[in-house]
Amino acid sequence: MYAIRISGAPTVGGISKEENPRPIQHGGRGSVRDNCIAKLESLGFRVGQSLVERFTKDSSRFKDELDTMKFICKDFWNSVYKKQIDNLRTNHQSPSCELFPFGYLHCFEIVLQLLLLGVYVLQDNKFRFLTQLSNGKQYMDSAPMYLAFPCGMIRGALSNLGINCIVTAEVSAMPAYLDTCSAVQYEL
Amino acid sequence: NRGVDPRKVNGELFTLTYGALVAQLLKDYEDDEEVNKQLEKMGYNIGVRLIEDFLARSNVGRCNDFRETADIISKLGFKMYLGITPAISNWSPAGDEFSLMIENNPLTDFVELPPGHSNLNFSNLLCGVLKGALEMVQMDVDVKFVQDQLKGDNITEVRLKFIRRLEDAIPAGED
């Protein structure tokens, strides 16, 4: 149900064994690594669930899915990362055939796939969990470790709002300059 | 990063993340004592790194005695990283032991210990952090929980006992 993919770096498997029969990377360390990522993801899931309960305590019911997504982009993101998502796009028509129909280079993206409904792409140009990492390929390997938790958090938050989804993340370059908006794109 | 202090995170995010961490450790080790040990170890590893950040940001120099150390831990250290200032009390006559009285521990917001975990020190990470940080400034200190609000006590009490001064270890091959 869940995968984090890092392009330009070895693929890292997700939670479900059946759905991710990916070869183990990094020799013997791979399974330990996968295990870590699965655990981090489930920690995130739990935190996302509780956080969203706190945040929506006094708000009224969301109108529809898009409304929920807007909440995630604005309020949730603001509370957790102190900024809003920079761009939200959706692709309701082709849920499974093309995950990245948007024709420019993504430095970092998280793709959120709502089962049977469509894909939402959320873009954060300055994702706080990655801005402290150095630029370059050197730390590309460890990026999944930093992304598993936030991915789980989104999944947990949405799950408590009644939306089951798949969250994937992709990084092709680390943020070069923290102040430029083009460096990181965060999508889901 | 104008406007937002990059070192600060949402308090609820912090608390809930810590809670999820402890819950995961409990699931993995299934034993309170073992979880305490792991938490302390994690804290230790945080502490030995955190001290550098602390010294860089707080601009404090050497402490003259353990009392001064206690003050700095409470008024600068806890203030800086957890936003609280624990009271210092219960000094031993020899002046080598004191307690930090924590009234509202941010780590334990929303937390209720389920039955059957009377040996768990939920915030044991703090002990490790203190021990690790102090070790990096040449102090061997024993840190442990004496009271915990989670277990029904009125206050959370962390006891620090000075054991000895550590000598600077000279790397092998240097005089």
Place of tokens 């873009």: A123
How many other CB atoms are found less than 10 A from the CB of residue B4? 11
| CA–CA separation, A88 and A74 (whole Å) | 10
- For residue B120, the distance in angstroms to the closest alpha carbon of chain A comes to 20
Q: What percent of chain B stands above pLDDT 90?
A: 78
Place of tokens 């930090």: B100
| CA–CA separation, B139 and B174 (whole Å) | 23
Higher pLDDT, A65 or B69: B69
**Cβ distance A149 to A91 under 8 Å?**
no
Higher pLDDT, A75 or A66: A75
Query: What pLDDT shows up at residue B70?
Result: 95
**Cβ contact (<8 Å) for B13 and A83?**
no
Average pLDDT over all residues of chain B: 91
Phi and psi torsions of B160, nearest 5°: -115, 130
pLDDT of B170 above 80: no
**Alpha-carbon dihedral of residues A71, A74, A79, A84, nearest 10 degrees?**
150
Q: Does A57 touch chain B (CB under 8 A)?
A: no
Of A42, A44, A54, the CB nearest to B12: A54
pLDDT in tens, A108-147: 455 555 544 567 777 777 777 777 777 666 777 777 788 8
**Cβ contact (<8 Å) for A131 and B10?**
no
pLDDT of A23 above 90: no
In what side-by-side order are the strands of the sheet with B87-89? B87-89, B97-102, B156-165, B139-147
Residue B88 tokens, joined = 């210092």
**Cβ contact (<8 Å) for A43 and B13?**
no
Nearest Cα to Cα of residue A161 among A43, A60, A37: A60
ipTM: 0.81
Nearest Cα to Cα of residue B26 among B37, B16, B13, B15: B37
- For residue B32, the distance in angstroms to the closest alpha carbon of chain A comes to 19
**Cβ contact (<8 Å) for A82 and B4?**
yes
**Cβ contact (<8 Å) for B13 and A47?**
yes
Q: Does A181 touch chain B (CB under 8 A)?
A: no
- Interfacial A residues in 77-96 facing B (CB < 8 Å): 79-80, 82-83
| CA–CA separation, B49 and B57 (whole Å) | 13
A43 contacts on B by Cβ (under 8 Å): 17, 20-21, 24
Q: How many CB pairs below 8 Å do chains A and B form together?
A: 35
Phi and psi torsions of A15, nearest 5°: -80, -55
User: pTM of the entire structure?
Assistant: 0.77
pLDDT in tens, B36-50: 999 999 999 999 999
pLDDT in tens, B113-165: 988 898 999 999 999 999 999 999 999 999 999 999 999 999 999 999 999 99
**Cβ distance A70 to A178 under 8 Å?**
no
Cα-based distances in Å from B141 to B19, B119, B163: 26, 22, 5
- For residue A43, the distance in angstroms to the closest alpha carbon of chain B comes to 6
**Cβ contact (<8 Å) for A42 and B17?**
no
